[in-house]
Amino acid sequence: MDELDQSLIHEYMNIRYKQTRIKARFKSIKHLFWEQSFIRSPFAIDDNGNPESIVRYDRQVNALIDLEALSQQTQTELNFKRNYFNKYLMKLPNNDYMYLVMKYRKHGEVVSNALIEQQTLNECNQIEEATEHRFGLEVEVSVEPKEDVNEMMNQVLGMIS
């Protein structure tokens, strides 16, 4: 399993933290927006004596509204992913669940378990595909065509089981 595959599993195992970071970033941007002064003078100059550019506040308001809509849409998509991934995790045997937690949340040293990692990767790919369909995003195929037919069929069978 390559680093890209492991990073996808890592992202799903830590999706809650990603949601927290997005909320905190938007909150700080909103705070900065309201901390600024909306009163400007066309004769204002900066420390170097250059005229200050006047940024229209209506454009800033529109940008803030767009950012809020994007943040809410991202939160909705992440909630969708987290919900289905948590359902998958609840179905796992306890030792497989603990393996994933130790490797991807706590970054502990564990003996590699390729089978559970491949199953988890397949589940993540299915959730990605379902998210793309649900929210009208660009759909990517989760099974890549390969030269080795047996390997490709094993990947498809792994997604079903």
> Residue 61 is encoded by which pair of tokens?
């308001």
**Residue partners of 11: CB distance under 8 A and separation at least 6:** 18
pLDDT, one tens digit per residue, over 36-73 is 877 777 777 888 888 877 777 888 899 999 999 999 99
38, exposed or middle or buried, with CB in 10 Å at 0-12, 13-18, 19+?
exposed
Other residues' Cβ atoms within 10 Å of the Cβ of residue 140: 10
- Do 29 and 71 touch, CB atoms closer than 8 A? no
Which pLDDT tens digit goes with each residue over 67-121? 999 999 999 999 999 999 999 999 999 999 999 999 999 988 899 999 999 999 9
pLDDT beyond 60 at 161: no
